[in-house]
Structure 1
Amino acid sequence: MAADSNRMRVLRPLQACNLCKTRKKKCDKSLPSCGYCISKHMDCVYGDASFPRNAAPPTKKDACSKQPSLWPSPARVIINPKHALQLAEGFGREVYSEVYRVIRDSGQFVDDITARFFNGFHHQLPVISRISFYNCLSASGATSSDSSLLLLAMSLFTKTTDAHAQTIPDVEKRRALYLSLKSLYAQVQACSPRSIPLIQAGVLLGMHEYMNGQPYNAFMTISQCVRMAYAAGIHMRRSHENISSRKPDSPFLLQEEEEANTWWAIVICERTFLCELETNSQPLLSVFPAGDARLPFESQVLDHLDILSHGSLPNIPLSCLTFPNLGGFSRMAQATCFLDQVRKAFEVDDIDSRLLLLSRLDTNIQAFLSLVMPQCQEEPGIYCSAMNITIRTLFILHWHIITQLEICAPRYEPRDVWLARSHEALETVAKMVIDIADLLLATPVQSTAMYMVDTMPPQYPYIACAVLGYLRTRKFTEEPECSTKARGILQMWLDKYSD
């Protein structure tokens, strides 16, 4: 008991909070906020607590925090480099206290965050096992820094608003959440070992940046995740192998399958993020799994691995495109496989060999799209990401053909034939994207997924921008009025999405 008491004293701030010092009153030095600040609903700031005695004093901006802020403040620097590596548990509690403060200031609650996340965005990108996450929170007593960061990352996907609630305070709150996660993530990375929750938090952080029009930041974030994943070894876990070679009573089944899904998410995100960079010729860090690799588990399987029998687990290879009832995450993996193959085809030097390879890929991709579209119509929101990745891949493929034919002339087939074929494909893709935008615009605000960050396919704004750019630059059209109307529909949707 004495040891625990001494440990708690180490964790308490060395000085009173800024507000109590200004009032010249006694401060109870509670974390994350003292009793007085809580009673007055004020932002409690311990300006000197995170600085060593020989460090520079707080800035004037820090000292002026005695007045309550209008918006929630981003995470403060909470790590004391002198003690962080010595007291891992104390460091975890400090991170959790800061995460709790940020979540509280955003107006959310932990129970609401977890419930909304696992009932929403989790089905689009099932990288976190519901069982392991709850077990980690309960076992660590809320002192694990990486689990706290993962909770904060989940909160980015659980703040649903509609068009009438997109107020400036709400935008600022979301911005504060993002900046807090970005700051804390860098600090925890510097002082904590690589872990699966830390990698998963990075995947969610990158996805949030991608969904909010920051593809470059998203690509940098996911690149960090790739390096951490290699360091943790999740790219070579047995869960990527045939499941029949695994022991049915493996005590690490849940952990291995969660790691496998996390690696799949990293591979998918790195390739989709790269498509939106101005310079997308840089090499990828992750290696795409081979065609016989097993597809990832869907959320309903990942969440029930503790009660499912070994024989009931799906064992479907990546190359099996026509297997019935494949889930949305599996289809995302297959769609990204085509994207990876197209990217590799661009590296073929001979123009005729490259065109023939791209033509075969085009046939296969269009056949795959015909498989996904009926599933997307039957279960809206589940297969939309796979369909969007496929559409984006077709656009990249045919736009590459058009631009390359302006430089090189094929030998075995006339250039006009290739150009006509690619323009026809792009016109078909553009019509599909315009139809989706038209449908979303006609959907009532109360029921549309447009304003739900946890259900809207992240890729759609990017394919809409790609099609809009194509419509603006194409040099031929038989119906200019229709083209103008189509551009207006896409622009209207993009403006409404970004409000």
Structure 2
Amino acid sequence: MAADGNRMRVLRPLQACNLCKTRKKKCDKSLPSCGYCVSKQIECVYGDVSFPRNPALTAKDTCSKPPSLWPSPARAIINPKHALQPTEAFGREVYSEVYRVIRDNGQFADDITARFFNGFHHQLPVISRTSFYNSLAVSEPASSADSSLLLLAMSLFTKTPDAHAQTVPDVEKRRGLYLSLKSLYAQVQACSPPSIPLIQAGLLLGMHEYMNGQPYNAFMTISMCGRMAYAAGIHMPRSHEHITSRNSDSQSLFQEEEAANTWWGIVICERTFFCELESNSQPLLSVFPAGDSRLPIESRILDQLDILEHRSLPNIPLSCLTFPNLGGFGRMAQATCFLDQLRKAFEVDDIDSRLLLLSRLDTNIQAFLSLVMPQCQEEPGIYCSAMNITIRTLFILHWHIITQLEVCAPRYESKDVWLVRSHEALETVAKMVIDIADLLLATPVQGTTMYMVDTMPPQYPYIARAVLGYLHTRKSTEESDWSKKAREILQIWLDKYSQ
């Protein structure tokens, strides 16, 4: 497969596959399996395989593809001979399979990149748009297996939902797309050294699993990304002063900033996914950066690194909460910092010491939320993830207090005082979450068939489920009209989200 501009061009064999020649039927000559063999889920073998657009590739560089281990579009197992020594042939095989999966899902490379960078990229800006486009424009993109996988991972976030219809085949296609990526990713990871594109593909894979109600799988995937990040050396902490002494070379600037944002993405996602695990006994792989560590740069800056000087980049430390006009990704990092502090507070054994620590943390979190909410109202969508993480942290904090006071009582302050305070906080959080759901269900996004429910950050469904569970267990002598209506709104939202 080759690239023509930014578009893919498939390489086809000159002759039909062996089965179609035996049947004396027309073969579409798709690689690695023709359409007929794919439809029958049988092995597709080409006898004399040659590619007119690349005479350097001969039959010895190809092999018959055994059938898939599960019913997904990824029906090719990469040639072990090529995998042992990753070469251009290995990258070409991965690229060929990625192209086939994308084509079978009715997508094109240009559409995927355009939709991704105009959409989900702003939620998690870890990929440099310029660097990625440059990788597509090089003469032999097929030699890079990790970049091919990154393109396939991006396609998971570019299927526009329809607010009025969601057919079963569409769901099956997305499931097949996910399984294809999972299969190919395991093969490439086993045969290739860690790289930033490979880590980013895994990061997107974990986020997709999280968004689709698989937090345990997402946590395992993000842990794997963390291991690769350590191996690749992108975990090195960067202090507030680091920017003044770094290399001003443009390519180095791209690599350094993209690596830093990727590491922040791992740190944020690992803690976000960890919140939703039933067992919190598992250790975290990543170490949260210190307070003087530099915050990640925003998507608009990451996309313009080729025209910016390194000295003009923002140099804001993590601990600077009141910095004006701080972007959405930086706020996500700060919100996750509170989540990390909460996790550490739970490790304090003494109940009174823990409660005092949680009380101070509660005050700081609410102050931070008061900073983020106005920004979220001014620029909808940019700061929603930070606000959702903060709300989730508050909910976990006060729910922990309520459940802990059921089994032990504090010595220095009345148990009832703590309970009243936490229930009031949960009531406030519940009203915020319900107001968001009511707004999202109100009208479709202008100019599309999507409701705003389809544009929410991935953390919101978990908050909605947590609040719905709280309302079901809420102690009240008589259920109020507000509580009943609130549960109906949240259930309608969750039903629409799960379609």
Instruction: Output the TM-score relative to the length of structure 1.
Output: 0.88
Give the Cα separation in 1 of the matches to 2:81 and 2:421: 65
Question: Does the 8 A contact of 1:450 with 1:456 survive in 2?
Answer: no
- Pairwise mapping of residues 183-198 of structure 1 onto structure 2 (< 5 A)? 183-198=183-198
Indicate which of 42, 47, 63 corresponds to 2:44.
Answer: 47
Aligned amino acid, residue 104 of structure 1: R
Q: How many residues align?
A: 472
Alpha-carbon offset, residue 13 of structure 1: 8.1
Instruction: Rate the CA distance shift 1:30–1:413 in 2: closer, same or farther, 3 A.
Output: closer
CA RMSD of aligned residues (A): 2.9
Correspondences of 1:256-267 after superposition (within 5 Å) = 256-267=256-267
Give the deviation of 1:100 after TM superposition: 0.4
Corresponding residue for 2:102? 103
Distance in 2 separating the partners of 1:234 and 1:450 = 38
1:229 aligned residue: 229
State the partner residue of 1:253: 253
- Are the counterparts in 1 of residues 444 and 450 from structure 2 also a CA contact under 8 Å? no
Partner of 2:351: 351
Matching residue's letter, 2:312:
S
Asked if the contact 1:239/1:256 (under 8 Å) is kept, the reply is: no
How far apart in 2 are the matches of 1:241 and 1:259? 18
Gap change, CA 1:246 and 1:86, over 3 Å in 2:
closer
- Give the alignment of 1:118-129 within 5 angstroms: 118-129=117-128
Q: Tell me: CA distance 1:366–1:46, structure 2 relative to 1, closer, same or farther (3 Å).
A: same
Partner of 1:280 in structure 2?
Answer: 280
Distance 1:181 1:307, change over 3 A: same
Query: What's the CA shift string for 1:314-355, capped at 9, x where partnerless?
Result: 000000000000111000000000000000000011111111
Q: Distance in 2 between matches of 1:376 and 1:159?
A: 25
Cα deviation for residue 57 of structure 1 reads 10
In the TM superposition, what whole-angstrom CA distance separates every residue of 1:253-312 from its partner, at most 9, and x where no partner exists?
Answer: 110100000000000000000111111231101000001000000001011111112221
Please state how far the C-alpha of 1:45 moved relative to its aligned partner: 6.9
**1:253 match: secondary structure:** helix
Output the amino acid matched with 1:195: S
1:371 and 2:368 are equivalent in the alignment: no
Q: Can you list the C-alpha shifts for 1:182-227, whole angstroms capped at 9, x where unaligned?
A: 1100111111111110000000001011111111111111111011
Q: Which residue of 1 aligns with 2:80?
A: 81
Gaps of 5+ in 1: 1-10, 63-71
Asked if structure 1 preserves the Cα contact closer than 8 Å seen for 2:443 and 2:452, the reply is: no
Question: C-alpha displacement at 1:86, in angstroms?
Answer: 3.4
**Sequence identity (%):** 83
Aligned to 1:439: 439
Structure 1 pair 241–182 and aligned structure 2 pair: CA distance change class (3 A): farther
**1:436–1:477: structure 2 CA closer, same or farther, 3 Å change rule?**
farther
Query: Given residue 159 of structure 2, which amino acid in structure 1 is its aligned partner?
Result: K
Secondary structure of the residue aligned to 2:441 is: helix
Name the CA distance, whole Å, in 2 between partners of 1:425 and 1:452.
Answer: 25
Cα shift at 1:48: 4.9
Distance in 1, matches of 2:192 and 2:136, equals 17
Distance 1:58 1:318, change over 3 A: closer
Q: Could you tell me which residue of structure 1 aligns to residue 322 of structure 2?
A: 322
Task: Look up the equivalent residue of 1:269 and give its one-letter code.
Answer: C
**Would the alpha carbon gap of residues 352 and 49 (structure 1) be closer, same or farther in structure 2, given more than 3 Å must change?**
farther
Q: 8 Å contact 2:105–2:173 — kept in the other structure?
A: yes
The 1:128–1:417 alpha-carbon spacing in structure 2 relative to 1, beyond 3 Å, is same
CA contact (8 A) 2:149 2:184 kept: yes
1:240 Cα deviation (Å)? 7.6
> Alpha carbons of 1:329 and 1:49: their partners in 2 closer, same or farther (altered >3 Å)?
farther
Aligned in 2, Cα 1:295/1:356: closer, same or farther, shift over 3 Å? same
Structure of greater relative contact order (alpha carbons < 8 Å, 6+ residues apart): 1
1:29 CA displacement: 5.9
Once the two structures are TM-superposed, the CA of residue 135 in structure 1 deviates from its matched residue by: 1.5
Partner in structure 2 of residue 117 of structure 1? 116
What CA distance in whole angstroms lies between the structure 2 residues aligned with 1:239 and 1:106? 44
State the 1:162 CA deviation.
1.5
What is the alpha-carbon distance in structure 1 between the residues aligned to residue 119 and residue 26 of structure 2? Answer: 45
- How much has 1:87 moved relative to structure 2? 5.3
CA contact (8 A) 2:16 2:27 kept: yes
CA shift in 2, pair 1:367/1:413, >3 Å = same
What is the deviation of 1:84?
A: 2.2
1:63-212 equivalence runs, <5 A: 73-86=72-85, 88-139=87-138, 140-212=140-212
Q: Distance in 2 between matches of 1:22 and 1:269?
A: 52
Residue 298 of structure 1 is matched in structure 2 by 298
C-alpha distance 87-213 of structure 1, shift in aligned 2 (>3 A): closer
CA distance in 2, matches of 1:185, 1:41: 21
CA pair 169-451 structure 1, distance change in 2 beyond 3 A: farther
CA 1:21/1:219 → structure 2, altered by over 3 Å: closer, same or farther?
farther
Alignment match, 1:474? 474
TM-score computed with the length of structure 2 as normaliser: 0.88
Q: Which amino acid letter does the alignment assign opposite residue 313 of structure 1? A: L
User: Aligned partner of 1:157: which letter?
Assistant: F
1:449/1:257 Cα in 2 relative to 1: closer, same or farther (>3 Å)?
Answer: farther
Q: Matches of 2:495 and 2:124 in 1, distance apart?
A: 26
CA distance in 2, matches of 1:116, 1:27: 33
Paired residue type of 2:44: G
Q: Kindly provide the CA deviation profile for residues 127-179 of structure 1, in whole angstroms up to 9, marking residues without a partner as x.
A: 00011111122234232110000000000101102222411221121111111
Cα shift at 1:42: 7.2
Indicate conservation of the 8 Å contact 2:398/2:425, yes or no. Answer: yes
Unaligned stretches of 5+ residues in structure 2: 1-10, 48-59
In structure 2, C-alpha distance between the alignment counterparts of 1:248 and 1:394, rounded to whole Å:
41
Q: How does 1:385-464 map to 2 (within 5 A)?
A: 385-444=385-444, 450=451, 455-464=455-464
- Matched position secondary structure for 2:409: coil
Is the 8 Å Cα contact of residues 153 and 201 (structure 2) preserved in structure 1? Answer: yes
- In the alignment, what sits opposite 1:65? none
Does the CA-based 8 Å contact 2:240-2:316 persist in structure 1?
A: no
Q: Can you list the C-alpha shifts for 1:89-132, whole angstroms capped at 9, x where unaligned?
A: 10100110110001001011110000110111101100000111
Cα shift at 1:469: 0.3
SS in 1 for 2:143: coil
How far did residue 33 of structure 1 move? 5.9
Structure 1 residue 246 displacement after superposition: 2.1
- Give the whole-Å Cα distance in 2 for the aligned partners of 1:129 and 1:390: 27
Q: Would the alpha carbon gap of residues 85 and 431 (structure 1) be closer, same or farther in structure 2, given more than 3 Å must change? A: same
- How many angstroms apart in 1 are the aligned matches of 2:361 and 2:450? 32
Quick one: structure 1 residues 468 and 74, their matched pair in 2 at CA, closer, same or farther if it must change by over 3 Å? same
Structure 1 residue 251 displacement after superposition: 4.3
CA separation of 1:173/1:323 partners in 2, compared to 1, >3 Å: closer, same or farther? same
d(CA) in 1 for partners of 2:30, 2:266? 39
1:289 and 2:286 aligned: no
| Alpha-carbon distance between aligned partners in 1 of 2:290 and 2:266, rounded to the nearest angstrom | 15
How far apart, CA to CA, are the structure 2 residues paired with 1:168 and 1:221?
Answer: 27
